[in-house]
Structure formats: structure tokens, C-alpha cells
Amino acid sequence: MKTEKINSGAMENAGGKTTPVLSVKNLTYAYPKNKIALEDISLDIYPGEKVAVVGPNGAGKTTLFLHMNSTIKSKGHIFINGKDVADMNPSQRVKEVGIMFADPDNQLFMPTVFDDVAFGPLNLGLTPEEVKQRVEEAMEMTGITDLKMNVPHHLSLGQKKKVVLASVISMRPKVIILDEPTANLDPKSKRDVLEIVNKLNAEGMTIIISTHDVNLLSELADKVYVLNKKIIETGTPREIFSNPSLLEENNLEASDIFKFFQLLTTIGFDCDDLPLSFDEAVNEIYRQIKEGGGHIHLHTHKHVPEKHD
């Protein structure tokens, strides 16, 4: 895929200041009957960042995303590279921001996978050769080349999500928004989506994700916004997981690995930075075994109650 490689994680303007690729400024939105969905939301996302938005059901994550690509118009609140997204025509917007909804059936409507992936580029007025090249690149990146003549609605959920992701990639937007991309997927499909997302990000794509899958959060994002109608907290996955009151108040929880190593610290496992993922856990255990001469020494602290039958 032809994307501009961004190494710095943020572009600089002539004055040397970083310039957000996407900005939300004081966004408040209410559904009919004055049901508040978003309250005074402000955030800046920079080129090359990998950002997650997490929060309980009904927190406003999807509503925020619909504003970001101007499905819900809100003039004066959403800016792409400094331009008000509400003033952009549809062809401009899709070049800037692509979105993948949680339910892939909402975005699949063509007779074959190839047609679905080609739909966007065709509507950009590209030549047949350019469309074909974009479609082939997007299908190869998502691993669905062998499905190109299949009927999309006959595919598995994981395959459908890859088709939608390919259709977004084929537009070559600067920012991709993924609403619950791993929801209801089997472990292999989750890993496939994760690899695709990280490959896109490595090539310079800015990624914005909502997810309830806390076990993948540290691999899906470098920065996390906790949203519950308003921005509650911002931090790295480690900072968010290390705040138990924040998690409890917003119906969130830390990853299984993080919670397990928290437990290990009560029996003498000495670790400055608790692992967030399985890979980090393996590396930490091997490090301690090496430093401990082939052993890890654990002991029960006096304050840990013993279990009685």
C-alpha cells in the first residue's frame, strides 16, 4: 500500500509546532428528547498515532466516530488537518477519514468481494487500472485475495471484517477509524486484524480504535482516551490499567495478564512495570529467570491471608 511513512508520530508546521491530523473542539451532542451523548469533548490526534477510545456501553464512542467522519454533521467542532470536516464534500472526506463500523453487514452491499473493495475507488473517478491496483493491494494486505469472487454475505464474520477493512484501505485515507474491530471474533481472526492494524500504522496510517477487548489494548494503542459521555482520562494503556478507581467507576477492567502479575507481586514477584500482554509477560519471566540464576523466588507476605478449607 502506498502511504507516506511517518516516523516521528507527529508532523511539524513551519513554526516547529506539531499539527494534529484530527482535532475535536468542545463537541457536545444530544439525541432526541435531550439525551446527552457527548459533553464538551476536546482531543487532538497526531499523524502516525495509534489511539484507543474505551468506555462502558452507551459512553458515546460510536457517536464520536460518526462526528469524526461527518456522518453526523457538527460544524465548528471536527477538524481534519485544520479544515472543518463539515465543510468538506463527501469525496474529500473519504480521502481523509475512513471508518469501519462494528457490524460489517452495514458496509457490504455489492455482489462480490472485489466489487465491494472497488466501490470507493471507482467513485473517486480513478482509471480502471488504478482501481484494480488499489483493490489488489488492499486485498493482499488483508489476506482476502482468494475471496475476491465470493459473495460477501456468505463469508464468516472475520472474513467480512477483513473485506470492510480492505474497502477502507483501498481509499487510502490519512486516518482510519475502527469501531470494535475484534468484537465477536475467534482468537485467530483477532490476531489477523491486529497484525493488519499494526502494519497500516507502521506504514504511517493514523489509527483510532474503540474496543472492549482489554487484553489486546496495549497492542492496539499507544494512547488511550477513557470516554463516558465526556473525556474522563487520557494516558498510556499502563497508566489507565494502573488506576483501579478509574476502571471501576467506568465499568472497565485491566487485562488478564496485568491482573495476574498484580497478584504475583503479593507473593514476592518483583516487577517495576507489570506486563500488559502475553509477549511482555514471557519476556519479563525469562528476564527474571536469567537474573535469578535459573530461578524465580516467591514468598507469601504476612498481609496476604491464607486460604482455609
Same domain, 182 and 298: no
Same domain, 301 and 162: no
Same domain, 134 and 283: no
> Among 214, 243, 272, which residue terminates a domain?
243
User: 167 in a domain, yes or no?
Assistant: yes
Give residue 261's pLDDT: 84
Tens digits of per-residue pLDDT, 189-221?
A: 999 999 999 999 999 999 999 998 888 898 899
CB neighbour class for 93 (10 Å; exposed up to 12, middle 13-18, buried from 19): buried
Same domain, 66 and 158: yes
CATH number for the domain harbouring residue 146: 3.40.50.300
> Among 243, 270, 290, which residue terminates a domain?
243
Same domain, 49 and 85: yes
Same domain, 166 and 264: no
CB 289, CB 295: distance < 8 Å: yes
Average pLDDT over residues 157-165: 96
User: 6 in a domain, yes or no?
Assistant: no
- Three-class SS of residue 185? coil
Give residue 54's pLDDT: 95
pLDDT band with cut points at 50, 70 and 90 for residue 303? low
User: 5 in a domain, yes or no?
Assistant: no
- Alpha-carbon distance of 146 to 236, in angstroms, equals 38
CB 59, CB 210: distance < 8 Å: no
Give residue 290's pLDDT: 80
Give the CA angle between residues 296, 306, 309 to the nearest 5°: 120
Query: All 3 cell numbers of residue 263?
Result: 497478584
pLDDT band with cut points at 50, 70 and 90 for residue 7? very low
Same domain, 158 and 274: no
Tens digits of per-residue pLDDT, 246-276?
A: 999 999 988 888 888 888 888 777 777 888 8
Give residue 5's pLDDT: 37
CB 69, CB 54: distance < 8 Å: no
> Among 216, 243, 270, which residue terminates a domain?
243
Lowest mean pLDDT across 104-108, 265-269, 282-286: 265-269
Same domain, 106 and 176: yes
User: 46 in a domain, yes or no?
Assistant: yes
Tens digits of per-residue pLDDT, 219-236?
A: 899 999 999 999 999 999
Residue 225: closest CA among 236, 212, 216? 236
User: In terms of DSSP H, where are the helices of the chain?
Assistant: 61-68, 90-96, 113-122, 128-142, 157-169, 187-202, 217-220, 237-241, 244-249, 256-265, 278-291
CB 58, CB 35: distance < 8 Å: no
Provide the number of structural domains found in the chain. Answer: 2
User: 54 in a domain, yes or no?
Assistant: yes
Residue 234: closest CA among 17, 46, 38, 52? 52
Question: Quick check: 300 pLDDT over 90?
Answer: no
Question: Quick check: 308 pLDDT over 60?
Answer: no
Which residue do the cell numbers 496485568 mark? 258
User: 153 in a domain, yes or no?
Assistant: yes
Question: Quick check: 79 pLDDT over 50?
Answer: yes
Please list, residue by residue across 16-41, b when 16 or more beta carbons sit within 10 angstroms of its beta carbon and e when fewer do. Answer: eeebbbbbbeebebeeeeeeebbeeb
User: 2 in a domain, yes or no?
Assistant: no
Give residue 3's pLDDT: 45
Same domain, 217 and 263: no
List for the chain the helix, strand, coil content (%; round to 5): 40, 20, 40
CB neighbours of residue 187 within 10 Å: 8
Same domain, 75 and 31: yes
Question: Quick check: 144 pLDDT over 60?
Answer: yes
pLDDT, mean over the chain: 87
User: 217 in a domain, yes or no?
Assistant: yes
Lowest mean pLDDT across 45-49, 78-82, 248-252, 276-280: 276-280
Give residue 95's pLDDT: 86
* pTM of the complete model: 0.85
* 18 vs 152 pLDDT, higher one: 152
Same domain, 136 and 64: yes
Q: Domain of 46?
A: 11-243
Same domain, 215 and 160: yes
Average pLDDT over residues 14-30: 81
